[in-house]
Each structure stands twice: as structure tokens, then as C-alpha cells.
Amino acid sequence: MTRSRGMDDLVSDGVFLAWEAQLQLADLYDDHERWNVDLAAGTLQFVGPHPGEFRIQLLGSAAPGPRSWLWGWANPSQYPASVLAAANATRALGERLGIPELVQGEVPFGEHRQADAADAGYEFAWDMSIAARLATGSWFGFGGHVGGGSRLWVLFEGLLFAPPTVPRMVRVFGEGLQTTEVHDHRRAVGSWASLRGVPWDGRTLTLADGTITVDFDELGRIRDLQGSSARA
């Protein structure tokens, strides 16, 4: 299916904070050797040099075979209600805002910029996870391989952000735009600033360690990012 206007707005609102969270999670656990999930208990464990165990919420799964996303609350496996709170909160957000992708139990990928079904599924699920992060305020997520190109997507409970820095956020803005289609770059930057409590005057973000100046082209797309250190 073609992404709805409401879903476009949610992706713009959450893409940068979601990507900031992913980079921080990768800093901590990208070297894990394997992961174990217990949906009955609502936990996920990273096994490796830097082990960690977290309470989780199940969002759903993306499967390249049927080229579709299945929300956790629609899965016939009937997972415990305690692990579906985030998925149900996202459905409630979809009902309130009239966003079909969030209220249909199974959602087809539809036409997609990624030709490979597994890649299309990852990007589609990434969009769904952004909506869920906005709905719940839980920003750290994980999409783990479960075989056959399918991935299981969860949100973590209890992880906190490190303070944003100029080098990290220049990277976040640059890379975040590559993770999915972002239709409103200006809205995306402003939303990140609002969610993080960072001063933003429409052109400059003021962080503890410096500033980031964002230039937009005539179509409102980010054209240039310039970071400067407060110690320079």
C-alpha cells in the first residue's frame, strides 16, 4: 500500500530521534553474538562481550514471503497482553488520527523503493516502529532475524538517551534521511528539537557542546549541515 499522509507525518516527526536511539543501542550492543527472546516473560537478552537483558514490548513482524507486516495484536499466536501494550497503544494512535497502517492487522508492503522483499520489509517495519515510538515514548527498538528473511520487532523498556552532541547529531541527521522516505525535512528537525528539548530557531540548533546550522533548499529539503563546537 502507498504510505498514508498521516503515516508520512509520523515518520517525519520521529525519524531522527528513532535513529539517534538506534545508534546509541548499536554503540552498546552491536557486537552481540546472538540474542534470545522470551515473549511469555517479555524479555530480550543480548549475549556477547557486553551482555544485556531488557524488558520488551512486541510490535510485530515483517515477512518477505507475503510481503507484509503483521501487528503483534493480530498474530494468531495470541501473545500475552502484557507484551502487547505498545502495539495496542500504536493501534489506538492510528484510530485517533485515522492512519490505516496502524489499525489493519496485516499490512502489505505495497509498492516500495526497495526491490528486495527483505529490504522492503525492514524499511516498512522501521516506519511502523517510528510510529510506535511516538505512541509510547519508548524510543529504543530492535528488529531481529527469525529465519527466512523475516524479522521480529520489539521496543525496549528502561533505556535512556545520552545527551545529544554536535558530532552525533550531524551523523543522525545525515543518516536518518537514508533510512526511509522523509517527506518533510524541516518538520523532522523541528520535531527532534521539540522531543529533545533543544533550542531551535528554524535554522540553528543549540546543544551543550555547540551548534548545528541547517540549510534547506527551495523544496524544504536539508541541503547542508554545519556543526560548530562551543570550544572552537
Last residue of a domain, one of 129, 156, 183: 156
Q: Are residues 75 and 141 in the same domain?
A: yes
Residue 88 lies in a domain: yes
Q: Are residues 73 and 134 in the same domain?
A: yes
- What confidence score (pLDDT) does residue 220 get? 92
Last residue of a domain, one of 137, 156, 175: 156
Q: Are residues 214 and 106 in the same domain?
A: no
Counting Cα atoms < 13 Å in the Cβ hemisphere of 75 gives: 23
Q: Are residues 108 and 195 in the same domain?
A: no
Dihedral (C-alpha) 151, 183, 9, 209: value to the nearest 10 degrees?
90
Q: Specify the higher pLDDT residue, 207 or 48.
A: 207
Q: Are residues 188 and 218 in the same domain?
A: yes
CA distance 126 to 18: 9
Residue 70 lies in a domain: yes
Instruction: Report the pLDDT averaged over residues 166-188.
Output: 97
- What confidence score (pLDDT) does residue 158 get? 87
- What confidence score (pLDDT) does residue 84 get? 98
Please check the confidence at residue 231 and state whether its pLDDT lies above 80.
no
Q: Are residues 171 and 146 in the same domain?
A: no
Q: Can you give the residue range of the structural domain that contains 83?
A: 5-156
Q: Are residues 99 and 49 in the same domain?
A: yes
Please check the confidence at residue 112 and state whether its pLDDT lies above 80.
no
Counting the structural domains of the chain, the total is 2
Residue 129 lies in a domain: yes
Please check the confidence at residue 85 and state whether its pLDDT lies above 70.
yes
CA distance 141 to 170: 21
Q: Give the CA diameter of the chain.
A: 58
Q: Identify whether the C-beta of residue 172 lies closer than 8 Å to the C-beta of residue 20.
A: yes
Please check the confidence at residue 1 and state whether its pLDDT lies above 60.
no
Last residue of a domain, one of 156, 190, 219: 156
Over pLDDT 90: what percentage of the chain? 86
CA distance 21 to 168: 11
Instruction: Report the pLDDT averaged over residues 48-59.
Output: 94
Q: Are residues 133 and 170 in the same domain?
A: no
Q: Identify whether the C-beta of residue 55 lies closer than 8 Å to the C-beta of residue 86.
A: no
Which H/E stretch holds residue 8?
A: helix 5-29
Residue 211 lies in a domain: yes
CA distance 124 to 217: 27
How open is the CA angle 129-54-118, to the nearest 5 degrees? 35
Please check the confidence at residue 230 and state whether its pLDDT lies above 80.
no
Instruction: Report the pLDDT averaged over residues 135-149.
Output: 95
Please check the confidence at residue 193 and state whether its pLDDT lies above 90.
yes
Residue 161 lies in a domain: no
Note the pTM of the prediction, 2 decimals: 0.95
Residue 199 CB neighbour total at 10 angstroms = 10
Q: Phi/psi at 140 (nearest 5 deg)? A: -95, 125
Q: Identify whether the C-beta of residue 63 lies closer than 8 Å to the C-beta of residue 70.
A: yes
Q: Specify the higher pLDDT residue, 112 or 78.
A: 78
